[in-house]
Amino acid sequence: MRMRYSCGIAAALCISGPVVLAHHSFAMFDLAKVVTVEAVVKEVQYTNPHVWIQIMVPDDKGGETEWSIESGAPGMMTRAGWKSSTLKPGDKVTLAMHPLTSGKPSGSLVSVTIPDGRVLGPGAGQVPPPPTTEPPPATR
Protein backbone atom coordinates (compact mmCIF):
# COMPACT_ATOMS: atom_id res chain seq x y z
CA MET A 1 0.00 0.00 0.00
CA ARG A 2 2.80 2.42 0.90
CA MET A 3 4.56 1.66 -2.36
CA ARG A 4 1.45 2.50 -4.41
CA TYR A 5 0.94 5.71 -2.40
CA SER A 6 4.59 6.76 -2.90
CA CYS A 7 4.44 5.99 -6.61
CA GLY A 8 1.26 8.04 -6.94
CA ILE A 9 2.83 11.07 -5.25
CA ALA A 10 5.98 10.73 -7.36
CA ALA A 11 3.92 10.56 -10.57
CA ALA A 12 1.89 13.64 -9.59
CA LEU A 13 5.06 15.61 -8.89
CA CYS A 14 6.62 14.57 -12.19
CA ILE A 15 3.54 15.62 -14.13
CA SER A 16 2.99 18.96 -12.37
CA GLY A 17 6.63 20.05 -12.27
CA PRO A 18 6.92 21.15 -15.91
CA VAL A 19 3.60 23.02 -15.73
CA VAL A 20 4.70 25.00 -12.67
CA LEU A 21 8.08 25.77 -14.19
CA ALA A 22 6.55 26.82 -17.52
CA HIS A 23 4.47 29.61 -16.00
CA HIS A 24 6.33 32.92 -16.06
CA SER A 25 6.30 35.83 -13.66
CA PHE A 26 5.14 39.33 -14.48
CA ALA A 27 8.44 40.85 -13.29
CA MET A 28 9.13 42.14 -16.82
CA PHE A 29 6.23 44.57 -16.50
CA ASP A 30 6.45 47.85 -14.57
CA LEU A 31 3.54 47.21 -12.21
CA ALA A 32 3.96 50.66 -10.63
CA LYS A 33 3.19 52.38 -13.94
CA VAL A 34 0.01 52.42 -16.01
CA VAL A 35 0.13 53.63 -19.61
CA THR A 36 -3.13 54.39 -21.42
CA VAL A 37 -3.35 54.44 -25.21
CA GLU A 38 -6.04 54.89 -27.82
CA ALA A 39 -5.54 52.20 -30.40
CA VAL A 40 -7.06 50.03 -33.11
CA VAL A 41 -7.24 46.27 -32.59
CA LYS A 42 -5.16 44.37 -35.12
CA GLU A 43 -5.68 40.83 -33.82
CA VAL A 44 -6.83 38.91 -30.75
CA GLN A 45 -5.32 35.53 -29.92
CA TYR A 46 -7.91 34.01 -27.56
CA THR A 47 -5.84 30.93 -26.70
CA ASN A 48 -4.14 29.33 -23.71
CA PRO A 49 -2.15 30.03 -21.67
CA HIS A 50 -2.79 33.79 -22.05
CA VAL A 51 -4.92 35.90 -24.34
CA TRP A 52 -2.87 38.33 -26.45
CA ILE A 53 -4.25 41.52 -27.97
CA GLN A 54 -2.29 43.09 -30.83
CA ILE A 55 -3.03 46.80 -31.16
CA MET A 56 -1.85 49.56 -33.45
CA VAL A 57 -0.96 52.75 -31.57
CA PRO A 58 -0.39 56.05 -33.40
CA ASP A 59 3.12 57.40 -32.88
CA ASP A 60 4.37 60.98 -32.84
CA LYS A 61 5.71 60.67 -36.41
CA GLY A 62 2.32 60.08 -38.04
CA GLY A 63 2.80 56.32 -38.24
CA GLU A 64 1.72 53.43 -36.06
CA THR A 65 3.48 51.07 -33.71
CA GLU A 66 2.23 47.57 -33.03
CA TRP A 67 1.90 46.73 -29.33
CA SER A 68 1.47 43.22 -27.88
CA ILE A 69 -0.74 43.16 -24.79
CA GLU A 70 -0.81 40.10 -22.54
CA SER A 71 -3.92 39.29 -20.56
CA GLY A 72 -5.34 36.46 -18.46
CA ALA A 73 -6.19 32.92 -19.48
CA PRO A 74 -9.26 32.50 -21.72
CA GLY A 75 -11.23 30.82 -18.93
CA MET A 76 -10.53 33.67 -16.51
CA MET A 77 -11.48 36.23 -19.11
CA THR A 78 -14.70 34.42 -19.98
CA ARG A 79 -15.70 34.48 -16.30
CA ALA A 80 -14.95 38.23 -16.28
CA GLY A 81 -17.36 38.90 -19.16
CA TRP A 82 -15.16 38.39 -22.23
CA LYS A 83 -15.99 36.30 -25.28
CA SER A 84 -13.63 35.33 -28.06
CA SER A 85 -15.58 37.82 -30.20
CA THR A 86 -15.48 40.75 -27.74
CA LEU A 87 -12.75 42.50 -29.72
CA LYS A 88 -12.45 42.34 -33.48
CA PRO A 89 -9.83 43.68 -35.89
CA GLY A 90 -10.57 47.33 -36.60
CA ASP A 91 -12.22 48.04 -33.22
CA LYS A 92 -11.15 51.34 -31.66
CA VAL A 93 -10.31 50.93 -27.97
CA THR A 94 -8.82 52.76 -25.03
CA LEU A 95 -6.42 50.38 -23.33
CA ALA A 96 -4.56 50.71 -20.04
CA MET A 97 -1.55 48.50 -19.41
CA HIS A 98 1.52 47.97 -17.27
CA PRO A 99 4.33 48.55 -19.81
CA LEU A 100 7.42 46.42 -20.20
CA THR A 101 10.33 47.65 -18.09
CA SER A 102 12.50 47.48 -21.24
CA GLY A 103 10.44 50.21 -22.94
CA LYS A 104 9.51 47.94 -25.86
CA PRO A 105 5.91 48.23 -27.14
CA SER A 106 4.26 45.57 -25.02
CA GLY A 107 2.39 45.40 -21.75
CA SER A 108 0.13 43.57 -19.35
CA LEU A 109 -3.56 44.47 -19.63
CA VAL A 110 -5.06 46.52 -16.80
CA SER A 111 -8.34 47.48 -18.50
CA VAL A 112 -9.81 48.15 -21.91
CA THR A 113 -12.78 50.26 -22.91
CA ILE A 114 -14.39 48.37 -25.76
CA PRO A 115 -16.51 49.89 -28.58
CA ASP A 116 -19.83 49.39 -26.74
CA GLY A 117 -18.49 51.44 -23.78
CA ARG A 118 -17.94 48.57 -21.34
CA VAL A 119 -14.68 48.47 -19.40
CA LEU A 120 -13.19 45.01 -19.06
CA GLY A 121 -10.17 43.85 -17.10
CA PRO A 122 -7.59 41.12 -17.67
CA GLY A 123 -9.78 38.41 -16.18
CA ALA A 124 -8.41 38.36 -12.64
CA GLY A 125 -10.31 40.12 -9.87
CA GLN A 126 -12.31 43.30 -10.20
CA VAL A 127 -11.83 45.83 -12.98
CA PRO A 128 -9.65 48.60 -11.58
CA PRO A 129 -10.79 52.21 -11.64
CA PRO A 130 -9.85 54.07 -14.82
CA PRO A 131 -6.15 55.02 -14.60
CA THR A 132 -4.70 58.43 -15.13
CA THR A 133 -3.46 58.90 -18.67
CA GLU A 134 0.26 58.74 -19.24
CA PRO A 135 1.62 58.92 -22.77
CA PRO A 136 3.24 55.73 -24.07
CA PRO A 137 7.03 55.63 -23.97
CA ALA A 138 8.79 56.65 -27.16
CA THR A 139 9.46 53.67 -29.38
CA ARG A 140 12.72 53.03 -31.10
pTM over 0.75: no
Q: What is the mean pLDDT of the chain?
A: 82
If one compares 103 and 6, the residue with the highest pLDDT of the two is 103
pLDDT of residue 139: 60
Could you give the CA distance from residue 108 to residue 11 in angstroms, rounded to a whole number?
34
Domain edges within the chain: 24-120
Residues 6+ apart with CB under 8 A from 36: 94, 95, 96, 97, 131, 132, 133, 134
List all residues 6 or more positions away from 123 whose beta carbon is below 8 Å from its beta carbon.
51, 71, 72, 73, 76, 77, 78, 79, 80, 82
pLDDT per residue as tens digits for the range 99-138: 999 999 999 999 999 999 999 998 765 554 555 556 666 6
CATH class of 24-120: mainly beta
- Which backbone phi and psi does 3 adopt, to 5 degrees? -65, -45
pLDDT of 16 strictly over 50? no
